Amino acid sequence: MFGAYGHTGRFVVAELAARGFLPVPSGRNAQALEELADAHGLEARVASVEDPASLEWALAGTAAVINCAGPFASTTGPVIEAALRAGIPYLDVAAELEANLDTFAHYRERARDAGAVIVPAMAFFGGLGDLLATAAMGDWTEADEAHIAYGLSSWHPTAGTRLSGAVSRERRGANRLRYSGGQWEHRTDGAPTLEWSFPDPMGPRSVIGEFTMADIVTVSQHLSIPDVTSYMTAEAVRDVAAPRTPAPTAADTSGRSDQTFLVDVVVRSGGAERRVTAGGRDIYAVTAPLVAEALERVLTGRTKAVGVASAGEIFDAQEFLRALAPHIALDLHPQKQTA
Protein backbone atom coordinates (compact mmCIF):
# COMPACT_ATOMS: atom_id res chain seq x y z
CA MET A 1 0.00 0.00 0.00
CA PHE A 2 1.94 3.00 -1.28
CA GLY A 3 0.59 6.24 0.16
CA ALA A 4 -1.23 4.28 2.86
CA TYR A 5 -1.40 7.14 5.38
CA GLY A 6 -3.35 9.53 3.15
CA HIS A 7 -7.07 10.17 3.58
CA THR A 8 -8.15 7.56 1.02
CA GLY A 9 -5.25 5.25 1.84
CA ARG A 10 -6.44 4.87 5.43
CA PHE A 11 -9.86 3.72 4.23
CA VAL A 12 -8.17 1.21 1.91
CA VAL A 13 -5.92 -0.18 4.66
CA ALA A 14 -8.96 -0.71 6.93
CA GLU A 15 -10.95 -2.38 4.13
CA LEU A 16 -8.09 -4.72 3.21
CA ALA A 17 -7.59 -5.72 6.84
CA ALA A 18 -11.33 -6.37 7.21
CA ARG A 19 -11.16 -8.70 4.20
CA GLY A 20 -8.33 -10.72 5.70
CA PHE A 21 -5.40 -9.20 3.82
CA LEU A 22 -2.19 -8.14 5.54
CA PRO A 23 -1.46 -4.65 4.21
CA VAL A 24 2.11 -3.38 4.18
CA PRO A 25 1.86 0.42 4.57
CA SER A 26 4.47 2.29 2.58
CA GLY A 27 5.37 5.86 1.68
CA ARG A 28 7.92 8.53 2.36
CA ASN A 29 6.59 9.93 5.66
CA ALA A 30 8.12 7.66 8.31
CA GLN A 31 6.21 9.17 11.25
CA ALA A 32 2.80 8.91 9.54
CA LEU A 33 3.60 5.35 8.49
CA GLU A 34 4.58 4.27 11.98
CA GLU A 35 1.44 5.79 13.50
CA LEU A 36 -0.75 3.98 10.96
CA ALA A 37 1.15 0.71 11.31
CA ASP A 38 0.99 0.80 15.11
CA ALA A 39 -2.76 1.43 15.02
CA HIS A 40 -3.33 -1.69 12.93
CA GLY A 41 -0.46 -3.88 14.13
CA LEU A 42 1.27 -3.81 10.73
CA GLU A 43 4.81 -3.58 9.39
CA ALA A 44 5.62 -0.22 7.80
CA ARG A 45 8.17 0.19 5.01
CA VAL A 46 9.47 3.66 4.21
CA ALA A 47 9.94 4.18 0.47
CA SER A 48 10.18 7.02 -2.02
CA VAL A 49 9.58 7.25 -5.76
CA GLU A 50 12.95 8.96 -6.04
CA ASP A 51 14.64 5.82 -4.69
CA PRO A 52 13.93 2.69 -6.81
CA ALA A 53 15.77 0.46 -4.35
CA SER A 54 13.46 1.55 -1.54
CA LEU A 55 10.42 0.72 -3.69
CA GLU A 56 11.85 -2.72 -4.46
CA TRP A 57 12.32 -3.33 -0.74
CA ALA A 58 8.79 -2.09 0.00
CA LEU A 59 7.29 -4.51 -2.54
CA ALA A 60 9.46 -7.50 -1.61
CA GLY A 61 7.38 -10.54 -0.68
CA THR A 62 4.04 -8.85 -1.40
CA ALA A 63 1.28 -10.19 -3.66
CA ALA A 64 0.37 -6.86 -5.28
CA VAL A 65 0.73 -3.11 -4.88
CA ILE A 66 -2.01 -0.50 -4.53
CA ASN A 67 -0.89 3.06 -5.20
CA CYS A 68 -2.86 5.69 -3.25
CA ALA A 69 -0.16 8.37 -3.36
CA GLY A 70 -0.88 11.49 -5.35
CA PRO A 71 -0.04 13.48 -7.29
CA PHE A 72 -0.10 10.42 -9.52
CA ALA A 73 1.76 12.21 -12.29
CA SER A 74 4.82 11.68 -10.06
CA THR A 75 4.12 8.26 -8.54
CA THR A 76 2.48 6.02 -11.16
CA GLY A 77 5.56 5.53 -13.34
CA PRO A 78 8.04 4.63 -10.56
CA VAL A 79 5.58 2.37 -8.72
CA ILE A 80 4.50 0.59 -11.92
CA GLU A 81 8.16 0.04 -12.81
CA ALA A 82 8.78 -1.44 -9.36
CA ALA A 83 5.72 -3.70 -9.72
CA LEU A 84 6.91 -4.92 -13.12
CA ARG A 85 10.34 -5.71 -11.69
CA ALA A 86 8.72 -7.57 -8.78
CA GLY A 87 6.33 -9.41 -11.11
CA ILE A 88 3.22 -8.42 -9.15
CA PRO A 89 -0.07 -6.72 -10.15
CA TYR A 90 -0.43 -2.95 -9.83
CA LEU A 91 -3.63 -1.05 -9.02
CA ASP A 92 -4.12 2.64 -8.30
CA VAL A 93 -6.85 5.11 -7.40
CA ALA A 94 -5.68 7.94 -9.65
CA ALA A 95 -8.26 10.51 -10.70
CA GLU A 96 -5.76 12.61 -12.69
CA LEU A 97 -6.64 12.48 -16.41
CA GLU A 98 -3.10 12.99 -17.58
CA ALA A 99 -1.65 10.35 -15.26
CA ASN A 100 -4.20 7.77 -16.44
CA LEU A 101 -3.63 8.61 -20.09
CA ASP A 102 0.11 8.21 -19.50
CA THR A 103 -0.39 4.79 -17.92
CA PHE A 104 -2.29 3.48 -20.93
CA ALA A 105 0.08 5.11 -23.44
CA HIS A 106 3.35 4.07 -21.80
CA TYR A 107 2.57 0.61 -20.43
CA ARG A 108 -0.17 -0.99 -22.55
CA GLU A 109 2.09 -2.99 -24.90
CA ARG A 110 4.84 -3.64 -22.37
CA ALA A 111 2.45 -4.95 -19.71
CA ARG A 112 0.54 -7.07 -22.23
CA ASP A 113 3.74 -8.64 -23.54
CA ALA A 114 4.84 -9.40 -19.97
CA GLY A 115 1.44 -10.83 -19.01
CA ALA A 116 1.29 -8.24 -16.23
CA VAL A 117 -1.88 -6.74 -14.75
CA ILE A 118 -2.15 -2.98 -14.32
CA VAL A 119 -5.51 -1.51 -13.30
CA PRO A 120 -5.49 2.31 -13.18
CA ALA A 121 -8.17 4.58 -11.68
CA MET A 122 -9.81 1.80 -9.64
CA ALA A 123 -11.70 4.34 -7.56
CA PHE A 124 -14.87 6.43 -7.39
CA PHE A 125 -13.65 8.52 -10.32
CA GLY A 126 -12.61 5.99 -12.95
CA GLY A 127 -13.50 2.51 -11.84
CA LEU A 128 -17.08 3.06 -10.71
CA GLY A 129 -18.21 5.05 -13.74
CA ASP A 130 -16.45 2.60 -16.04
CA LEU A 131 -18.18 -0.40 -14.44
CA LEU A 132 -21.56 1.36 -14.67
CA ALA A 133 -21.05 2.27 -18.34
CA THR A 134 -19.95 -1.28 -19.14
CA ALA A 135 -22.96 -2.71 -17.31
CA ALA A 136 -25.25 -0.33 -19.19
CA MET A 137 -23.78 -1.46 -22.51
CA GLY A 138 -24.70 -5.06 -21.72
CA ASP A 139 -24.67 -7.04 -24.97
CA TRP A 140 -24.13 -3.98 -27.17
CA THR A 141 -20.76 -4.04 -28.92
CA GLU A 142 -20.92 -0.33 -29.74
CA ALA A 143 -23.00 2.72 -28.92
CA ASP A 144 -23.37 6.29 -30.13
CA GLU A 145 -22.81 8.14 -26.86
CA ALA A 146 -22.37 7.70 -23.13
CA HIS A 147 -23.16 10.21 -20.38
CA ILE A 148 -21.88 9.96 -16.79
CA ALA A 149 -23.52 12.40 -14.37
CA TYR A 150 -22.20 12.85 -10.83
CA GLY A 151 -24.71 14.03 -8.27
CA LEU A 152 -22.71 14.96 -5.15
CA SER A 153 -24.43 16.55 -2.17
CA SER A 154 -21.18 18.45 -1.54
CA TRP A 155 -17.49 18.08 -2.28
CA HIS A 156 -15.06 18.81 0.52
CA PRO A 157 -11.69 18.04 -1.12
CA THR A 158 -8.77 16.43 0.64
CA ALA A 159 -5.31 17.97 0.49
CA GLY A 160 -4.42 15.23 -2.00
CA THR A 161 -7.32 16.18 -4.27
CA ARG A 162 -6.24 19.81 -4.27
CA LEU A 163 -2.62 18.90 -5.01
CA SER A 164 -3.53 16.49 -7.82
CA GLY A 165 -5.87 19.10 -9.31
CA ALA A 166 -3.11 21.70 -9.26
CA VAL A 167 -0.70 19.32 -11.01
CA SER A 168 -3.30 18.50 -13.69
CA ARG A 169 -4.03 22.18 -14.30
CA GLU A 170 -0.33 22.90 -14.60
CA ARG A 171 0.10 20.17 -17.21
CA ARG A 172 -3.06 21.16 -19.08
CA GLY A 173 -2.50 24.91 -19.07
CA ALA A 174 -5.50 26.90 -20.28
CA ASN A 175 -7.03 23.84 -21.92
CA ARG A 176 -9.75 21.50 -20.75
CA LEU A 177 -10.21 18.01 -22.18
CA ARG A 178 -13.26 16.58 -23.92
CA TYR A 179 -13.68 13.19 -25.63
CA SER A 180 -15.71 13.58 -28.80
CA GLY A 181 -15.76 11.88 -32.19
CA GLY A 182 -13.50 9.14 -30.88
CA GLN A 183 -10.64 11.47 -29.98
CA TRP A 184 -9.47 13.89 -27.34
CA GLU A 185 -10.07 17.60 -27.85
CA HIS A 186 -8.24 20.40 -26.08
CA ARG A 187 -10.77 23.17 -25.51
CA THR A 188 -10.20 26.74 -24.33
CA ASP A 189 -13.86 27.76 -24.01
CA GLY A 190 -15.75 27.47 -20.76
CA ALA A 191 -17.61 24.29 -19.87
CA PRO A 192 -21.39 24.67 -20.31
CA THR A 193 -23.90 24.82 -17.46
CA LEU A 194 -26.81 22.45 -18.13
CA GLU A 195 -29.59 20.62 -16.33
CA TRP A 196 -29.50 16.87 -15.67
CA SER A 197 -32.57 14.91 -14.58
CA PHE A 198 -31.26 12.55 -11.92
CA PRO A 199 -33.58 9.78 -10.73
CA ASP A 200 -35.71 10.54 -7.68
CA PRO A 201 -35.24 11.65 -5.01
CA MET A 202 -32.48 13.91 -6.40
CA GLY A 203 -34.41 15.01 -9.49
CA PRO A 204 -33.35 17.79 -11.91
CA ARG A 205 -30.13 19.57 -10.97
CA SER A 206 -27.90 22.22 -12.46
CA VAL A 207 -24.66 20.57 -13.66
CA ILE A 208 -21.41 21.62 -15.26
CA GLY A 209 -21.21 19.80 -18.58
CA GLU A 210 -18.05 18.25 -20.01
CA PHE A 211 -16.64 17.98 -16.49
CA THR A 212 -14.16 15.40 -17.73
CA MET A 213 -12.95 12.93 -15.12
CA ALA A 214 -11.01 9.65 -15.10
CA ASP A 215 -14.08 7.65 -16.20
CA ILE A 216 -13.78 9.19 -19.66
CA VAL A 217 -10.22 7.90 -19.95
CA THR A 218 -11.08 4.38 -18.85
CA VAL A 219 -14.33 4.06 -20.84
CA SER A 220 -12.75 5.29 -24.06
CA GLN A 221 -9.98 2.71 -23.78
CA HIS A 222 -12.22 -0.34 -24.20
CA LEU A 223 -15.79 0.58 -25.17
CA SER A 224 -16.65 1.50 -28.74
CA ILE A 225 -18.40 4.79 -27.95
CA PRO A 226 -17.19 7.85 -29.88
CA ASP A 227 -18.74 10.45 -27.57
CA VAL A 228 -18.32 10.12 -23.80
CA THR A 229 -19.29 13.05 -21.59
CA SER A 230 -19.45 13.56 -17.83
CA TYR A 231 -21.27 16.12 -15.71
CA MET A 232 -20.95 17.36 -12.12
CA THR A 233 -23.55 19.05 -9.96
CA ALA A 234 -22.85 22.78 -9.91
CA GLU A 235 -22.83 22.96 -6.10
CA ALA A 236 -20.07 20.35 -5.91
CA VAL A 237 -18.00 22.21 -8.51
CA ARG A 238 -18.27 25.39 -6.48
CA ASP A 239 -17.20 23.50 -3.36
CA VAL A 240 -14.12 21.92 -4.86
CA ALA A 241 -13.07 25.15 -6.59
CA ALA A 242 -13.38 27.34 -3.50
CA PRO A 243 -10.04 27.67 -1.67
CA ARG A 244 -11.70 27.84 1.76
CA THR A 245 -13.85 24.71 1.47
CA PRO A 246 -12.70 22.53 4.40
CA ALA A 247 -11.49 18.96 4.09
CA PRO A 248 -13.98 16.15 4.76
CA THR A 249 -14.76 15.41 8.39
CA ALA A 250 -15.88 12.13 9.90
CA ALA A 251 -19.58 11.72 10.64
CA ASP A 252 -19.38 8.18 12.03
CA THR A 253 -16.90 5.82 13.67
CA SER A 254 -15.72 4.47 10.30
CA GLY A 255 -14.44 7.92 9.35
CA ARG A 256 -16.94 8.48 6.55
CA SER A 257 -18.25 11.99 5.96
CA ASP A 258 -21.95 12.74 5.51
CA GLN A 259 -21.48 13.43 1.78
CA THR A 260 -23.81 11.43 -0.46
CA PHE A 261 -23.47 10.65 -4.15
CA LEU A 262 -25.47 9.45 -7.12
CA VAL A 263 -23.75 8.36 -10.34
CA ASP A 264 -26.22 8.25 -13.23
CA VAL A 265 -24.98 6.64 -16.47
CA VAL A 266 -26.90 6.74 -19.76
CA VAL A 267 -25.75 4.94 -22.90
CA ARG A 268 -27.55 5.51 -26.22
CA SER A 269 -27.42 3.56 -29.46
CA GLY A 270 -29.72 4.42 -32.33
CA GLY A 271 -33.11 5.02 -30.75
CA ALA A 272 -32.44 2.90 -27.67
CA GLU A 273 -31.26 4.03 -24.26
CA ARG A 274 -29.88 2.08 -21.32
CA ARG A 275 -29.39 3.54 -17.87
CA VAL A 276 -27.65 2.40 -14.68
CA THR A 277 -27.52 4.37 -11.43
CA ALA A 278 -25.48 3.86 -8.27
CA GLY A 279 -25.78 5.73 -5.00
CA GLY A 280 -23.86 5.77 -1.76
CA ARG A 281 -21.96 7.82 0.76
CA ASP A 282 -18.50 9.46 0.74
CA ILE A 283 -16.61 9.28 -2.56
CA TYR A 284 -13.28 8.79 -0.75
CA ALA A 285 -14.50 6.02 1.54
CA VAL A 286 -16.25 4.09 -1.25
CA THR A 287 -12.96 3.92 -3.14
CA ALA A 288 -11.78 1.39 -0.54
CA PRO A 289 -14.25 -1.42 -1.36
CA LEU A 290 -13.83 -0.68 -5.07
CA VAL A 291 -10.06 -1.20 -5.11
CA ALA A 292 -10.16 -4.01 -2.52
CA GLU A 293 -12.74 -5.94 -4.54
CA ALA A 294 -10.60 -5.42 -7.63
CA LEU A 295 -7.54 -6.74 -5.79
CA GLU A 296 -9.40 -9.86 -4.65
CA ARG A 297 -10.51 -10.58 -8.20
CA VAL A 298 -7.04 -10.05 -9.65
CA LEU A 299 -5.40 -12.32 -7.09
CA THR A 300 -8.00 -15.08 -7.54
CA GLY A 301 -7.87 -14.98 -11.34
CA ARG A 302 -11.38 -13.59 -11.87
CA THR A 303 -10.19 -11.39 -14.72
CA LYS A 304 -10.78 -11.15 -18.45
CA ALA A 305 -7.67 -9.32 -19.65
CA VAL A 306 -3.97 -8.71 -19.06
CA GLY A 307 -1.89 -5.61 -19.54
CA VAL A 308 -3.23 -2.16 -18.70
CA ALA A 309 -6.98 -2.62 -18.37
CA SER A 310 -9.97 -0.56 -17.28
CA ALA A 311 -12.30 -1.94 -14.61
CA GLY A 312 -15.06 -2.86 -17.06
CA GLU A 313 -12.58 -4.49 -19.41
CA ILE A 314 -10.88 -6.75 -16.91
CA PHE A 315 -13.86 -7.60 -14.64
CA ASP A 316 -17.44 -8.79 -15.15
CA ALA A 317 -19.08 -5.40 -14.59
CA GLN A 318 -22.51 -6.46 -13.36
CA GLU A 319 -21.11 -9.16 -11.09
CA PHE A 320 -18.56 -6.72 -9.66
CA LEU A 321 -21.20 -4.06 -8.99
CA ARG A 322 -23.48 -6.55 -7.25
CA ALA A 323 -20.56 -7.53 -5.00
CA LEU A 324 -20.49 -3.91 -3.79
CA ALA A 325 -24.08 -4.11 -2.51
CA PRO A 326 -23.14 -3.38 1.12
CA HIS A 327 -21.56 -0.10 -0.02
CA ILE A 328 -23.48 0.97 -3.13
CA ALA A 329 -27.19 0.94 -4.02
CA LEU A 330 -27.50 -0.17 -7.65
CA ASP A 331 -30.43 0.45 -10.01
CA LEU A 332 -30.44 -1.04 -13.52
CA HIS A 333 -33.24 0.84 -15.28
CA PRO A 334 -35.21 -0.87 -18.06
CA GLN A 335 -34.16 -0.16 -21.64
CA LYS A 336 -36.28 2.41 -23.46
CA GLN A 337 -36.58 3.93 -26.91
CA THR A 338 -35.44 7.53 -27.21
CA ALA A 339 -36.39 8.23 -30.81
Q: What is the pLDDT of residues 302-324, one digit of tens each?
A: 999 999 999 999 999 999 999 99
Q: Is pTM, for the whole model, over 0.95? A: yes
CATH of the domain at 276: 3.30.360
- Note whether residue 70 is domain-resident: no
Report the domain count for the chain.
1
- Note whether residue 254 is domain-resident: yes
Output the average pLDDT for the chain: 96
- Note whether residue 260 is domain-resident: yes
Mean of pLDDT values over 22-37: 96
Mean of pLDDT values over 235-254: 96
Query: What range does the domain containing 134 cover?
Result: 127-283+325-333
**103-110 LR contacts (CB < 8 Å, sep 24+):** 103/76, 103/308, 104/217, 104/221, 104/308, 106/77, 107/80, 107/307, 107/308, 108/307, 108/308, 109/307, 110/84
- Note whether residue 113 is domain-resident: no
What pLDDT, on a 0 to 100 scale, did the predictor assign at position 277? 97
Q: What gap in Å lies between CA 67 and CA 158, rounded to an integer?
A: 17
Check whether 339 has a pLDDT greater than 60. Answer: no
Mean of pLDDT values over 96-109: 96
What pLDDT, on a 0 to 100 scale, did the predictor assign at position 174? 80
Check whether 126 has a pLDDT greater than 90. Answer: yes
Beta bridge partners of 27: 46
What pLDDT, on a 0 to 100 scale, did the predictor assign at position 260? 97
- Note whether residue 160 is domain-resident: yes
Cite the DSSP H helix spans in the chain: 7-18, 30-40, 52-59, 72-86, 97-114, 129-137, 159-172, 214-222, 234-241, 287-299, 311-314, 317-323
CA distances from residue 206 to 193, 209, 241 in whole angstroms, order as listed:
7, 9, 16
% pLDDT > 70, the chain: 99
What pLDDT, on a 0 to 100 scale, did the predictor assign at position 248? 97
Beta-carbon contacts of residue 135 (< 8 Å; ≥ 6 apart): 276, 312, 317, 318, 321, 332
Other C-beta atoms closer than 10 Å to the C-beta of 83 total 24
- Note whether residue 305 is domain-resident: no
Cite the DSSP H helix spans in 196-266: 214-222, 234-241
Beta-carbon contacts of residue 225 (< 8 Å; ≥ 6 apart): 133, 137, 142, 143, 144, 145, 146, 219, 267
Check whether 179 has a pLDDT greater than 90. Answer: yes
- Note whether residue 167 is domain-resident: yes
What pLDDT, on a 0 to 100 scale, did the predictor assign at position 335? 78
Mean of pLDDT values over 87-112: 97
- Note whether residue 74 is domain-resident: no
Mean of pLDDT values over 51-59: 97
Least Cα distance to 23 among 31, 32, 13 occurs for 13
Q: What gap in Å lies between CA 234 and CA 208, rounded to an integer?
A: 6
What pLDDT, on a 0 to 100 scale, did the predictor assign at position 172? 87
